[in-house]
Structure 1
Amino acid sequence: MKLISLITPGANLDELASLASSNDVLLLRQDAVYLALQATLPFPGRILALESDVSWRNITLPAAIHAISDAEWVTLSVAATQCLLWS
């Protein structure tokens, strides 16, 4: 499982989706949490958002995107075979 962190909403999500698998996890961080407001996101795996960034920006997440704490992020990072920052 790859953990892919996304920090900017302007990233090419179609290109990212073409390189990802259903086992991968996309973590929305910083301003990328605004992408949760879109109807759909083209990503084959799970989509998560960092709870502190969601709270700071006062965003309500859809049911398909779950918020995780910083501690859960660390646990997920340790479990991942790769941790990537996508821009």
Structure 2
Amino acid sequence: MFGISPAQLIIILVIVLLLFGTKKLRNLGGDLGSAIKGFKKAVSEDNNDEKKSDETEKLDAKATAEKSASTEKEKDQA
């Protein structure tokens, strides 16, 4: 992994643990997890909004077409 041996990685992790402590690292992990969940939720909501807006546009176009068709029928009948 990028030229870092497992022994070097363990030494780095021990130093980080000594510098920050377990409580701060636990809080950092929880904050990171909630940030990722929030990001995923925002992305999925954005995709759902795009799908809904596409469906709404199609329905609006269909309703406009039906309205204009009924208006033309009324003109023809008059």
Greater percentage in helix: 2
TM-score, with structure 1 as normaliser: 0.19
Higher relative contact order (CA 8 A, sep 6+): 1
Which structure is larger by alpha-carbon Rg, 1 or 2? 2
In proportion to residue count, which structure has more strand?
1
